[in-house]
Amino acid sequence: MLFARILGMATLSTAFVPPHLPSYLNRREVSINSSDYPAFTIEIPIDHYNGSDTRTFKNRYWVNDQYYTPGGPVFYFDAGEQNARPLVPYFLYDAAGPSSPLTLARRFGGIALIFEHRFYGDVDSGSLPFVTNKDGYAIDGYEAYKYLNTEQSLQDPVYFAHNFEPPGLEPYWSLLNPKYTPWIWLGGSYPGIRGAHMRVRNPETFYAAWASSAPTEAAVDYWQYYAQAERSMTRNCSADYTAITNYVDN
């Protein structure tokens, strides 16, 4: 009987949705199974700065173009130092509530996408320029990882933007080039740093960047970072924190 009552209340709660709610808050449940969202790939040079090296690798990316209208911007979400696949349901399909890439795409008639960083991803299908072992480490060691550096990894999105040809949008391929469409970078922490660098390095490709929590200046022995954490604690806790820090440091 109690179960029947609860079920009835649940039915009523879904039947009488306030009409003023945005449509995306009244949508069907979104799958959080990342394998439900297939990845696309683009062939990218392993070495952007050696014209005689013609080797390429498949870099993964995911696209949501459901709100796209011709001429709308491209909202590029940088996955940073992680496997990008688990991010897809949350940042391209709002599985846990509105996300910045999809909210902006919805508002401005744009495309939302996630681009995976070189050397990251699934062992069998990630954005890996070289053969890896079962743990995901390149078997060539240094000869592989010397291509995992700032300049190579920053050039990947530039190459991608100027060669962006997503399946299903063939009539708009030329229009999606940064020459004709604004590309907006979104990222936080390391991806945010990359976005800030990109605005200085390649402003002709990325029109703007939303760089969240993006420290753009390195500092040696930056003790102020920990002082902020101490100030945020209760006094007893901060005293213990300070004592432990002094013990470890000395």
Residue range 77-103, pLDDT digits in tens = 999 999 999 999 999 999 889 999 999
Q: Where in the chain is the domain with CATH 3.40.50.1820?
A: 30-218
pLDDT at position 24:
46
pLDDT at 4 over 50: no
Dihedral in degrees, nearest 10, Cα atoms 64, 203, 149, 123: 10
pLDDT more than 90, % of the chain: 66
Angle between helices 235-249 and 224-231 (to 10 degrees): 150
Domain 30-218 in CATH 3.40.50.1820: yes
Burial of 147 (0-12, 13-18, 19+ CB in 10 A): buried
pLDDT at 66 over 50: yes
pLDDT at 6 over 80: no
pLDDT at position 13:
34
* Confidence grade of residue 107 (pLDDT, cut at 50, 70, 90): very high
pLDDT at 23 over 80: no
| Cα–Cα distance for residue pair 117/62, rounded to 1 Å | 12
pLDDT at 15 over 60: no
Kindly report the average pLDDT of the chain as a whole number. Answer: 88
pTM > 0.85: no
Q: Kindly report the backbone phi and psi dihedral angles of residue 41, in degrees, each rounded to the nearest multiple of 5, phi listed first.
A: -135, 155
